[in-house]
Amino acid sequence: MIDAAKDIAKTSKSSFYYAFNLLPEEKREAMNTVYAFCRKTDDIIDEGNETDEIKYEKLRKWRVELERAFNGNSDYTLLNKLGRTIHKFNIPYEPFFELLKGMEMDLQNKRYLTFDDLSLYCYRVASTVGLMCIEIFGYKHKSAKEFAINLGIALQLTNILRDIKKDSLKGRIYLPQEDLEKFSYSEEDIFKQKYDERFVNLMKYEVDRAERFFENATVNLDLDDKKAMFAARAMQHIYKRLLEKIIDAEYNIYQKNIKVSSFEKVGISLGVWAKYRLVY
């Protein structure tokens, strides 16, 4: 019998799958279930050509089914499995509902005026996932929550930088308006994919910001928790590599396909796993 949650994670070929595939079976299964929930939630917003009104309604029904799943009463097998995972690992409910609010933001906002606005979005769609995951990994120090929050924002900012072109084709610009103004780079320039000195300086500014969040994540991870967090650290290294590739491409995300190959993801994940397995 096929495990639907595992199949969703494997088919996606995401960094998530490669980073968490080396976990013990019980935790790996739990992570696959969390990932499948996040993937299905994201698909409500990003897949299909439905109107925003229809997507809102789908998201509302998904939220209702999630609430029912806490008691094992959802019509969706995946959500009932998620409910069991939540209870088994004592995962707080709040991050799941915050994630849904983040999905709503994608329907409400096509622009972000300030970085404070954008950071709330990053927290909701990415840091929340980290807060779910650390409960499955297990931790000794509360600082692990700050690690998860900072890492989530760093990962999402990296995604945003990689996907500027793709998002603009959907009419979305995640870069804060205040940052565009700071470097005299306009929305029209993004839509026209203008690669010039202004854009390079803007990208350097954004990459530096993402790197600070990566650094803050590392600072907040206590030595005692590093072994338990090896999978999250693998994600951190994979996305840091993605950020390095953006820099190596001289920030030209318009013309160059920026990606970390499956081979690299496996290598990074195995390297991090071996390091924490042997050292700590």
pLDDT on residue 129: 96
In the chain, what are the domains? 4-279 (1.10.600.10)
pLDDT on residue 272: 73
pLDDT on residue 2: 43
SS (H, E, C) the chain: CCCHHHHHHHHHCCHHHHHHCCCCHHHHHHHHHHHHHHHHHHHHHHCCCCCHHHHHHHHHHHHHHHHHHCCCCCCCHHHHHHHHHHHHCCCCCHHHHHHHHHHHHHHHCCCCCCHHHHHHHHHHHHHHHHHHHHHHHCCCCCHHHHHHHHHHHHHHHHHHHHCHHHHHHCCCCCCCHHHHHHCCCCHHHHHCCCCCHHHHHHHHHHHHHHHHHHHHHHHCCCHHHCCCCHHHHHHHHHHHHHHHHHHHCCCCCCCCCCCCCHHHHHHHHHHHHHHHHHHC
Question: Which residue stretches of the chain have pLDDT < 70?
Answer: 1-18, 276-280
Tokens of 145: 């929550």
Q: How many residues does the chain have?
A: 280
Could you report the per-residue pLDDT of 199-234, keeping only the tens digit for each?
999 999 999 999 999 999 999 999 899 888 988 998
pLDDT on residue 8: 45
Tokens of 214: 């990566």
The model's pTM = 0.91
pLDDT on residue 7: 52
